[in-house]
Chains A and B, each alone.
Chain A
Amino acid sequence: MSTTAVIAGVGKTRLGSVPELTTMGLIIDAATKAVADAGLTMRDIDGLVLHPFFGASPRYHILVAESLGIFAKTLCDTTMMGGAQYGATLQTARWAIEDGLCRNVLIVAGEKLRTGHDSGSAMMAEFGAHNLDYEYPYGATVPAYYGLLAERYLHQYGLDSSALAQIAVATRAHAVRNPDAEKRDPITVEDVLASPIISTPLHRLDCSLVSDGGAAYVVSAKGTSANPNREVELLGLGQAHSGYHMGHLARGDDSHDMVRTVVDIAGRRAFEKAGVSRSDIDVAGIYDSFTITTAIQLEDLGFCGRGEAGDYVKAGNMDLGGPMPTNTHGGLLSCAHPGACGGMLHIIEAVTQLRGEAGARQVPDAETALVTSASAVASNYSVSILGKAR
């Protein structure tokens, strides 16, 4: 029996404003959809990994399993890698499948950033997105962290904010074609620069949305699902984790600092394992908590030179019809950012593209996808290269 791990099913809730579901309700909805998408039942699930929402108790994964009626499981945990976790848990599931520990691993998350509790960075700080003792007292909200990063980036490469605005514009153009996306009116660079400053140099339209939502994937042994033609292969998975305090990111190491991040390590490993090159990537999901997050990853992954992401995007490289359509669902910037499952939406979009089910935003003949996820402050990453069933 094969122990090659594949993504067998995916599911997501309605996104944006979902007042009628609780957090657990979102988790259950997404999990149920993913398991059904795989053609399995909840009785087939023998592993569960939770991406936690703000305020989740340490053993919340047990509560989720109880709510889903999964009694005995051989893997059950909450991951604590922040935004890096969305691809890193694919690795965890892969280890479990390849080692024969589990047959079907459910990875799930849900959060109500919009209608659940107060929006704003207070909750993110408590969650551990950044340091409470030495940085948050100075007003370091999550947008302020990325503002610090962006100011350094623009200074270092002699750029202005329009370089970052290109990313917001290109991403919004994708959302226009996605009925699940919240923001679907096209925008221009001028619109981005005219939106209110949150923390310099980042304007509101440089920042991700604040949404409710839930998402799930089922990772199984190849051939387990009801329709193996819809399974998506894990060609190469990488991850890399560096600092947490911005002071430590600034110091970095021999080849990294605040604006040269360790996503290069994660990417190198994913490409080596997959045995593909950058030009083989047909469609990409690059975690876009802020426009600067995407810019830095494009550069550190080698898709363009350092300081060149704005020009790369302006030239149409992220667009449908371009060489590597990116964030075709509209990303965190324009589709939704439901906190604990935000980065799962890029994975699910890649799966949808590789299955040929992306409708108006389908990349023709998409066979190989690259998806990243990142956590504050552009310092902890996963990079996943996925392939159409073969």
Chain B
Amino acid sequence: MANVTRHLPRIDDDSRPYWESARAHAVQMQKCDDCGKFRFYPSPACHFCGSLAFTWTPISGKGEIYTYSILERAKGNSFADLVPIAIVMVTLDEGPVMMADLVDYEPGSIHIGQRVEMTYEDVTDEVTLPMFRPAPEAR
């Protein structure tokens, strides 16, 4: 039997609005009401100033690749047969750096600094994983 099962995130009260926004294909992140910074991953307090006051705010979904690695071997993992997987760290225009996979790209074209835009993979009825694809100007 093929190993093509992604590990699913656990959804809790702190993160539920994020995962629901992903399911809606319109990701929102927490913007601090006091210092104005966006944070990722979801948590009750601002990662920069500690304030507990925040507003869930839509993000543009745009950013650039900070680094990447193409996973070719993943023996022992439930997703071992999904390789190769292009894992990326993306610096969002709003500030946070997040991990996702790059999809819909030309092999050999991934590069640090590449402009990307968010897309989505509906893994289950409950879980959608944000992904990235090259931005139109960067294809």
A132 CB to nearest chain B CB (Å): 7
What's the Cα separation between A122 and B76 when bound, in Å? 6
**Contact with B69, one of A121, A132, A135, A148 (Cβ below 8 angstroms):** A148
What's the Cα separation between A139 and B3 when bound, in Å? 12
Is B66 located at the chain interface by the 8 A CB criterion?
A: yes
Is B9 located at the chain interface by the 8 A CB criterion?
A: yes
Are B7 and A196 neighbours in the complex by a CB distance under 8 Å? no
Are B74 and A196 neighbours in the complex by a CB distance under 8 Å? no
A residues within 8 A CB of B100?
138
Return the CB mask of B66-102 against A: 1 if under 8 Å, else 0.
Answer: 1111111111111110110101010100001111110
A residues within 8 A CB of B123?
137
A366 CB to nearest chain B CB (Å): 38
What's the Cα separation between A144 and B77 when bound, in Å? 12
What's the Cα separation between A116 and B38 when bound, in Å? 43
What's the Cα separation between A137 and B99 when bound, in Å? 10
Which residues of B82-130 have CB atoms within 8 Å of chain A's CB atoms? 82-83, 85, 87, 89, 91, 96-101, 112, 123, 129
B residues within 8 A CB of A390?
none
What's the Cα separation between A147 and B41 when bound, in Å? 22
Known A-B contacts A139-B85, A141-B77, A250-B66; A197 and B129 likewise in contact (beta carbons under 8 Å) = no
Is B139 located at the chain interface by the 8 A CB criterion?
A: no
Is A119 located at the chain interface by the 8 A CB criterion?
A: yes
B41 (CB) vs chain A CBs: closest residue: A134
What's the Cα separation between A138 and B84 when bound, in Å? 12
Are B98 and A121 neighbours in the complex by a CB distance under 8 Å? no
Are B78 and A122 neighbours in the complex by a CB distance under 8 Å? yes
A residues within 8 A CB of B6?
137, 139
Are A152 and B66 neighbours in the complex by a CB distance under 8 Å? yes
Are B67 and A152 neighbours in the complex by a CB distance under 8 Å? yes
**Contact with A139, one of B9, B82, B97 (Cβ below 8 angstroms):** B82
Is A133 located at the chain interface by the 8 A CB criterion?
A: yes
A139 (CB) vs chain B CBs: closest residue: B85
Interface residues on A, range: 35 or more
Are B71 and A141 neighbours in the complex by a CB distance under 8 Å? yes
What's the Cα separation between A122 and B15 when bound, in Å? 23
Are B99 and A199 neighbours in the complex by a CB distance under 8 Å? no
A230 CB to nearest chain B CB (Å): 41
A residues within 8 A CB of B87?
138-140, 144, 147-148, 199
Are B129 and A138 neighbours in the complex by a CB distance under 8 Å? yes
A207 (CB) vs chain B CBs: closest residue: B73
The winner among B15, B69, B72, B101 for most chain A CB atoms within 10 A is B69
Are B15 and A148 neighbours in the complex by a CB distance under 8 Å? no
Are A148 and B9 neighbours in the complex by a CB distance under 8 Å? no
Known A-B contacts A138-B99, A246-B89, A247-B98; A122 and B77 likewise in contact (beta carbons under 8 Å) = yes
- The count of chain B contact residues (Cβ–Cβ below 8 Å) is 39
What's the Cα separation between A249 and B6 when bound, in Å? 24
B98 (CB) vs chain A CBs: closest residue: A247
What's the Cα separation between A134 and B68 when bound, in Å? 16
Which residues of A193-211 have CB atoms within 8 Å of chain B's CB atoms? 196-202
What's the Cα separation between A251 and B98 when bound, in Å? 10
A202 (CB) vs chain B CBs: closest residue: B69
Is A245 located at the chain interface by the 8 A CB criterion?
A: yes
Are B76 and A118 neighbours in the complex by a CB distance under 8 Å? yes
What's the Cα separation between A197 and B70 when bound, in Å? 9
B residues within 8 A CB of A138?
85, 87, 99-101, 129
A residues within 8 A CB of B82?
139
A290 CB to nearest chain B CB (Å): 12
Is B49 located at the chain interface by the 8 A CB criterion?
A: no
Are B89 and A148 neighbours in the complex by a CB distance under 8 Å? yes
Are A148 and B68 neighbours in the complex by a CB distance under 8 Å? yes
Are B69 and A247 neighbours in the complex by a CB distance under 8 Å? no
Known A-B contacts A247-B40, A247-B97, A250-B89; A136 and B71 likewise in contact (beta carbons under 8 Å) = no
Which residues of A217-254 have CB atoms within 8 Å of chain B's CB atoms? 245-248, 250-251
B70 (CB) vs chain A CBs: closest residue: A200
Are B77 and A198 neighbours in the complex by a CB distance under 8 Å? no
| 4 smallest beta-carbon distances between A and B, as pairs | A120-B76, A147-B69, A133-B9, A152-B67
In the assembled complex, 25 residue pairs joining A and B whose CB atoms fall closer than 8 Å, in A order, are: A120-B80, A121-B76, A122-B76, A133-B9, A133-B10, A134-B99, A136-B7, A137-B7, A137-B129, A139-B83, A140-B99, A141-B74, A141-B77, A144-B74, A144-B87, A147-B69, A147-B70, A148-B87, A198-B72, A199-B70, A199-B71, A246-B89, A250-B66, A250-B89, A258-B66
Seen from chain B, the residues whose Cβ lies within 8 Å of a Cβ on chain A are 6-10, 15, 40-41, 47, 66-80, 82-83, 85, 87, 89, 91, 96-101, 112, 123, 129
Seen from chain A, the residues whose Cβ lies within 8 Å of a Cβ on chain B are 118-123, 125, 131-141, 143-144, 147-152, 155, 196-202, 245-248, 250-251, 258
